[in-house]
Chains A and B, each alone.
Chain A
């Protein structure tokens, strides 16, 4: 009987349950998606850096599991805030606590089971879409990869069922320990206390100092080495917590003393925000740290990727070299925009194993070569080769010319001779066409076609010996491509999780906020003013951890650029990735505002 009643309770609040379910399904889907990628051997062993990638995935998995735990905890709180009243009533009417416990455990596990199964299905879809999208973005092939992966399914089911079982027992315990009366009234209680000024000051100073210390540690990675990561982790976590618990509260308090406070609903908005931030300290700290991790992961991932053209072009000035190009190859070269080309004549003497070049020609249209001036910063200089440079076999100019030889002549010696001597050599002259694509990324598809034709021409053994820096580009792409893939993937997963967490925490407070908004409505607050206040409050809760997260990343990237991991500076993709990241974050913000408003803004009673 009670089971039936409790089922009807769910029916009555199906809209709230819909929010709960959609959140749970998305969390499960993200977890599955992550597991499917990280535990999938086909994927990790198939890529050049698969093994080291796997390690990072495992690390990410653990982080994701921790945040999932937090998430389930909040979602569960939301669930309980909906059910407390009903169950309190049952107990008031004489239901035994044992029966209630069973019901609660059953309900929690049932919700967990349904959302886990649905989440896995959605997760498979997510994995398929996201993996193929990312692969196409970074020109990577995922031939062996399948979105459905049984070990990941099991992993997800076990993880979530265990979590929900724990949650169910915890819930049951809460009910057995609290009296029916308290349960009935739980929605009306408020535990707001004005924090003490001295404590606020101490925490604010400590928080800022800890953050500064952590940032410095990451900056000084050259001296501190691995210690920097450890120090950074501890000080930033603690610092973030204290800053939320005090610094922002004080900031809001400052605003409250200003004239602004007396305008419209500002006093209410500021007070709510201040109350919220202290109440939300833990979740906001987690959100801010996750935000940093997510944004950091994406930035580092794309940073690796953007290194590739610079690394490749620093290694060699010309992208491809074509010996006696066919008309098809010529037309492909014609397709490349923004390029410079040069053609030299060469004569090959296979017996003496020599390749001859005309000195006059090399003087008239000199060869260019590039050389790293600062390898750590990925800075290279382009120079013009003189004939005397080209005669020295240990010079950079000679190396460049050597690298541009076809696989057949790679082992031959290069000889620069006068025009007369060159003309006297009784062999048919070859044409060597050198092509420099200034934008390698944009020309990659065409250049790939060219190298594919060449690979066929010279056979597979010649591939490694192929001329030009584009081969290096392709090689590096393969290595860093999976790093980028992983970075973006991790980033999106973290973002989705942290934003859902924040959303739930805000929504789970909506029921008790409703009373406040009702009162404001009664004393004559316009609905637009109420909505404005809601937007400001939620905006504050989203922005503050976001700002701190971005600052974390700005300093965290120091570790990569100064530590030499991300050559050429980690900041070049920072702007773009942050912008993209913020758009996703903004979407979550808007959804939260919408759902929250729907719950708390009083509906007009006009019914004629």
Chain B
């Protein structure tokens, strides 16, 4: 039996609820991500996918509905509990890398563990192992400004991986990369996923999405459609996504 890593029930998010013009960004979203899944969420700008990601990532809270991550209800946590939860359970990879340029790659990767007050020696071991997985072991003492875009994104991926999170959230992680580097990162993510780490990717790029195993399409704050890669080749799945997008956005 598979366990659910993420499960949401009837999520609603209304901005400016008490104003004259409230805006409902999410209109009842229910979804689930199972352990070891690689799920993509696609949608146009303004479809609500960033709002959804922020809520799943405990950076924001829903107006109503529930979110469970790794068996824990995260909708009623305090600000500190949310922060602690993120630092222990959730890995992030952002479009703009979000590395601290004043820290070396090693320090950047180790930061989440430092925040959990891990011992210096165990941080070193974890950092080295994460760096080896991503092929950046020889770059650890460099500063972000000395790295290429692709290398930076791999450092960011290592930072997301270093504390063995329950799930990794990617917010357009290939958005700032050229095609070669984007391809490399996606292969890396697939590799990480094959080792059993769940990944949830938010993107509007069909090529990135084609690396996922299942894709949810969001439109106007609701899940409009869902497709599964099944046994299809990645190329076939890519074509399917393109077709779907063609009809879905109409």
Which residues on A are within 8 Å of B, measured CB to CB?
190, 192-194, 259, 261-268, 271-272, 274-275, 515-516, 519, 521-529, 604-608
Residue from B61, B101, B123, B159 in contact with A262 in the complex, judged by beta carbons closer than 8 Å? B123
Residue from B15, B100, B119, B159 in contact with A271 in the complex, judged by beta carbons closer than 8 Å? B100
B57 at the interface (CB under 8 A from A): yes
CB under 8 Å from chain A, chain B span 47-94: 54, 57, 59-61, 63, 79-80, 83-88, 90, 92, 94
Q: Are B15 and A605 in contact (CB under 8 A)?
A: no
B115 at the interface (CB under 8 A from A): yes
CB contact under 8 A between A271 and B117, given known A194-B143, A262-B123, A516-B100: no
CB contact under 8 A between A192 and B111, given known A259-B120, A262-B120, A523-B87: no
- Cα A272 to Cα B17 in complex, Å, equals 39
Q: How far is the CB of B60 from chain A (nearest CB, A)?
A: 4
B36 to chain A: which residues have CB within 8 Å?
A: none
Q: Are B120 and A524 in contact (CB under 8 A)?
A: no
A519 to chain B: which residues have CB within 8 Å?
A: 94, 98, 100
- Cα A160 to Cα B164 in complex, Å, equals 58
- Cα A526 to Cα B81 in complex, Å, equals 8
Q: Are B79 and A606 in contact (CB under 8 A)?
A: yes
Q: Which residue in chain B gives the minimum CB-CB distance to A256?
A: B107
A527 to chain B: which residues have CB within 8 Å?
A: 79-80, 83
Q: How far is the CB of B109 from chain A (nearest CB, A)?
A: 11
A522 to chain B: which residues have CB within 8 Å?
A: 57, 59, 86, 92, 94, 98
User: In the complex, which of the residues B102, B110, B159 has the most CB atoms of chain A within 10 Å of its own CB atom?
Assistant: B102
Q: Are B114 and A605 in contact (CB under 8 A)?
A: no
CB under 8 Å from chain A, chain B span 105-162: 107, 110-115, 117-120, 123, 143, 145, 159
- Cα A606 to Cα B61 in complex, Å, equals 5
CB contact under 8 A between A267 and B110, given known A262-B120, A516-B100, A604-B79: yes
Q: How far is the CB of B217 from chain A (nearest CB, A)?
A: 25
A521 to chain B: which residues have CB within 8 Å?
A: 59, 83
Q: Are A605 and B102 in contact (CB under 8 A)?
A: no
- Cα A272 to Cα B111 in complex, Å, equals 14
8 A-B pairs with the lowest CB-CB distances in the bound complex, closest first: A524-B87, A524-B86, A271-B102, A262-B120, A605-B60, A519-B98, A526-B83, A275-B102
Residue from B59, B92, B115, B119 in contact with A525 in the complex, judged by beta carbons closer than 8 Å? B115
Q: Are A605 and B59 in contact (CB under 8 A)?
A: yes
B227 at the interface (CB under 8 A from A): no
- Cα A529 to Cα B116 in complex, Å, equals 11
B143 to chain A: which residues have CB within 8 Å?
A: 192, 194
Residue from A262, A274, A275, A516 in contact with B110 in the complex, judged by beta carbons closer than 8 Å? A262
A-B contact pairs, 21 of them (CB 8 A): A190-B101, A192-B145, A261-B107, A262-B110, A262-B113, A268-B103, A271-B102, A515-B98, A521-B83, A522-B98, A523-B92, A523-B115, A524-B85, A524-B88, A524-B112, A525-B83, A526-B84, A527-B80, A527-B83, A606-B60, A608-B17
- Cα A605 to Cα B110 in complex, Å, equals 27
User: In the complex, which of the residues B60, B98, B143 has the most CB atoms of chain A within 10 Å of its own CB atom?
Assistant: B98
A525 to chain B: which residues have CB within 8 Å?
A: 83, 87, 115
B102 to chain A: which residues have CB within 8 Å?
A: 192, 268, 271-272, 274-275
Q: Are A529 and B103 in contact (CB under 8 A)?
A: no
- Cα A267 to Cα B100 in complex, Å, equals 11
- Cα A266 to Cα B115 in complex, Å, equals 9
Residue from A190, A263, A275, A604 in contact with B114 in the complex, judged by beta carbons closer than 8 Å? A263
A268 to chain B: which residues have CB within 8 Å?
A: 100, 102-103, 111
B87 to chain A: which residues have CB within 8 Å?
A: 523-525
Q: How far is the CB of A603 from chain B (nearest CB, A)?
A: 10
Count class of interface residues, chain B: 35 or more
Extra 19 A-B pairs, beta carbons < 8 Å, given A607-B17, A608-B17: A190-B101, A193-B145, A262-B113, A265-B115, A266-B114, A268-B102, A268-B111, A271-B100, A271-B107, A272-B102, A519-B94, A519-B100, A522-B59, A523-B111, A524-B86, A525-B83, A526-B84, A604-B79, A605-B61
Residue from B61, B80, B112, B117 in contact with A523 in the complex, judged by beta carbons closer than 8 Å? B112
A190 to chain B: which residues have CB within 8 Å?
A: 101, 145
B114 to chain A: which residues have CB within 8 Å?
A: 262-267
- Cα A484 to Cα B101 in complex, Å, equals 49
Q: Which residue in chain A gives the minimum CB-CB distance to B146?
A: A194
A515 to chain B: which residues have CB within 8 Å?
A: 98
B59 to chain A: which residues have CB within 8 Å?
A: 521-522, 605
- Cα A325 to Cα B20 in complex, Å, equals 87
Residue from B15, B94, B110, B113 in contact with A607 in the complex, judged by beta carbons closer than 8 Å? B15
- Cα A268 to Cα B59 in complex, Å, equals 21
- Cα A431 to Cα B120 in complex, Å, equals 85
B86 to chain A: which residues have CB within 8 Å?
A: 522-524
- Cα A255 to Cα B118 in complex, Å, equals 18
User: In the complex, which of the residues B59, B84, B110, B115 has the most CB atoms of chain A within 10 Å of its own CB atom?
Assistant: B115
Q: How far is the CB of B194 from chain A (nearest CB, A)?
A: 24
Q: Which residue in chain A gives the minimum CB-CB distance to B103?
A: A271
Q: Are A605 and B123 in contact (CB under 8 A)?
A: no
Q: How far is the CB of A410 from chain B (nearest CB, A)?
A: 77
CB under 8 Å from chain A, chain B span 19-55: 54
Q: Are A605 and B145 in contact (CB under 8 A)?
A: no
Q: Which residue in chain A gives the minimum CB-CB distance to B160?
A: A523
A605 to chain B: which residues have CB within 8 Å?
A: 54, 59-61
Q: Which residue in chain A gives the minimum CB-CB distance to B77?
A: A606
Q: Which residue in chain A gives the minimum CB-CB distance to B98?
A: A519
User: In the complex, which of the residues A193, A267, A605 has the most CB atoms of chain B within 10 Å of its own CB atom?
Assistant: A267
User: In the complex, which of the residues A272, A516, A607 has the most CB atoms of chain B within 10 Å of its own CB atom?
Assistant: A607
Q: How far is the CB of A195 from chain B (nearest CB, A)?
A: 12
Q: Are B115 and A264 in contact (CB under 8 A)?
A: yes
- Cα A570 to Cα B18 in complex, Å, equals 66
Q: Are A524 and B115 in contact (CB under 8 A)?
A: yes
User: In the complex, which of the residues B85, B90, B112, B120 has the most CB atoms of chain A within 10 Å of its own CB atom?
Assistant: B120
- Cα A306 to Cα B110 in complex, Å, equals 57
Q: How far is the CB of A544 from chain B (nearest CB, A)?
A: 17
- Cα A516 to Cα B15 in complex, Å, equals 26
B112 to chain A: which residues have CB within 8 Å?
A: 523-524
Q: How far is the CB of B91 from chain A (nearest CB, A)?
A: 9
Residue from B57, B63, B107 in contact with A267 in the complex, judged by beta carbons closer than 8 Å? B107
User: In the complex, which of the residues A522, A528, A529 has the most CB atoms of chain B within 10 Å of its own CB atom?
Assistant: A522
- Cα A2 to Cα B112 in complex, Å, equals 46
B145 to chain A: which residues have CB within 8 Å?
A: 190, 192-193
Q: Which residue in chain B gives the minimum CB-CB distance to A272?
A: B102
User: In the complex, which of the residues A192, A262, A263, A264 has the most CB atoms of chain B within 10 Å of its own CB atom?
Assistant: A262
Q: How far is the CB of B62 from chain A (nearest CB, A)?
A: 8
Q: Are A524 and B123 in contact (CB under 8 A)?
A: no
B111 to chain A: which residues have CB within 8 Å?
A: 267-268, 523
- Cα A524 to Cα B86 in complex, Å, equals 5
- Cα A529 to Cα B113 in complex, Å, equals 14
Q: How far is the CB of B122 from chain A (nearest CB, A)?
A: 9
B101 to chain A: which residues have CB within 8 Å?
A: 190, 192
- Cα A524 to Cα B87 in complex, Å, equals 4
- Cα A263 to Cα B113 in complex, Å, equals 9
Q: How far is the CB of B168 from chain A (nearest CB, A)?
A: 12
B80 to chain A: which residues have CB within 8 Å?
A: 526-528
- Cα A525 to Cα B98 in complex, Å, equals 14
Q: Are A524 and B100 in contact (CB under 8 A)?
A: no
A192 to chain B: which residues have CB within 8 Å?
A: 101-102, 143, 145
- Cα A284 to Cα B203 in complex, Å, equals 45
Q: How far is the CB of A260 from chain B (nearest CB, A)?
A: 9
- Cα A192 to Cα B59 in complex, Å, equals 29
- Cα A262 to Cα B86 in complex, Å, equals 19
